[in-house]
Amino acid sequence: MGFNARRDFESGLFYAISNKDNTYSISRVTLQGTMTQQECIFCAIAAGHAAAEILYQDDEITAFRDIQPVAPTHVLIIPNQHIESIRTATAGDELLIGRMHAIARRLAEDEGIDQSGYRLIINNGSDAGQVVHHLHLHLIGGQPMRYPMG
């Protein structure tokens, strides 16, 4: 059984659409607070159990287009292992987080936004706008960015 997900920004909910034996069901999935790897939509995407437009994937990192982009280029870069946030990352995750940034640079080149400019964002916690509690780096570009942020 596979599933596809859609995010509703106002409610902070994901809607999971699953298909089993040609019967479709829709369920709301709350993504606030701590979640397990089995409940995490990003873990499902990294494992190939949820649909996404994958732009890059290796044993440690997956990058895919955001389902609700805020700019012409909006890519999410995630560790394949479940790390809730930058706050919960450990010293052992430093190289992985560095690789996420290096992959963002390569994807910016692939997307043709490396010369005009782009923004890299990691939201940490609800006040910062973190909706999915799985560490992810936003690569946003393809248009002038608004300033000031916040």
Domain ranges (residues) in the chain: 2-141
Active centre residues (catalytic): 136
Q: Which amino acid is located at 139 in the chain?
A: L
Q: What are the strands of the beta sheet with 137-141, ordered from one edge?
A: 54-57, 61-65, 73-79, 137-141, 118-121
Residue 124 pLDDT exceeds 70 = yes
Q: Residue for token digits 């910016």?
A: 108
pTM of the predicted structure, to 2 decimals = 0.77
Question: Which CATH number does 2-141 carry?
Answer: 3.30.428.10
Rounded to the nearest 5 percent, the helix, strand and coil shares of the chain are 20, 35, 45
Q: Reading across the β-sheet that carries 2-8, which strands appear in turn?
A: 2-8, 13-20, 23-30
Mean pLDDT of 51-56: 96
Share of the chain above pLDDT 90, in %: 69
% of the chain with per-residue pLDDT over 70: 74
C-alpha angle with apex 77: 54 to 70, nearest 5 degrees? 85
